[in-house]
Amino acid sequence: MSASIPASHSDLLVGPYHAILTTVMPDGSPQSSVVWVDFDGEYVIISTTRERQKGRNMQANPQVALLVMDPQDQARWLALRGQVVEISEQDAEEKLDDLARRYTGKAHYYGDIFPVEQQEKESRVTVKIQPLEVEVGNRPEAITP
């Protein structure tokens, strides 16, 4: 059963806040990476490649965890456990460029951030994660009954 992202914390998934994505290695141990994130109202979206460790891990085991902390208020955070429901190459480079603009102000990931030659060595994918369990943190004075 999927879980909803509270409106009070959805900005952490659409603002330029870095997240920590944890995937499961083949031996069962956790592997964490810093990622750029987006949210379409239902799924958390990240960009990676099939060749990177997190990409290989998610293809083999769809269980993931994600943590985003508000850099202006470290007591405000969003954590979720979820499941990868889609890994797609369709429009993956366009999504990556959208994220690059949001996070860096640069128009293109390949060419502006990473060398263009790297593009030929990678299979870029967009990953959709369905939140299954969601926790949020707030300062005690910010919590209302």
pLDDT at position 141: 52
Whether residue 6 is contained in a domain is answered as no
Whether residue 121 is contained in a domain is answered as yes
Residue pair 129/82 in contact by the 8 Å Cβ criterion: yes
Domain containing 18: what range? 11-137
Whether residue 132 is contained in a domain is answered as yes
Whether residue 116 is contained in a domain is answered as yes
Rounded to two decimals, the pTM is 0.90
Amino acid in the structure at residue 19: A
Whether residue 42 is contained in a domain is answered as yes
Q: Is 109 helix (H, G, I), strand (E, B) or coil?
A: helix
Domain count, the chain: 1
Query: At a CB cut-off of 8 Å and minimum separation 6, what does 56 contact?
Result: 50
pLDDT in tens, the chain (145 residues): 789 999 999 999 998 999 999 999 999 999 999 999 999 999 999 999 999 999 999 999 999 999 999 999 989 999 999 999 999 999 999 999 999 999 999 998 878 777 788 778 889 999 999 999 999 998 655 444 4
Whether residue 145 is contained in a domain is answered as no
Whether residue 5 is contained in a domain is answered as no
Neighbours of 15 (CB within 10 A): 14
Whether residue 40 is contained in a domain is answered as yes
DSSP assignment letter at 7: T
CATH no. for residue 107?
2.30.110.10
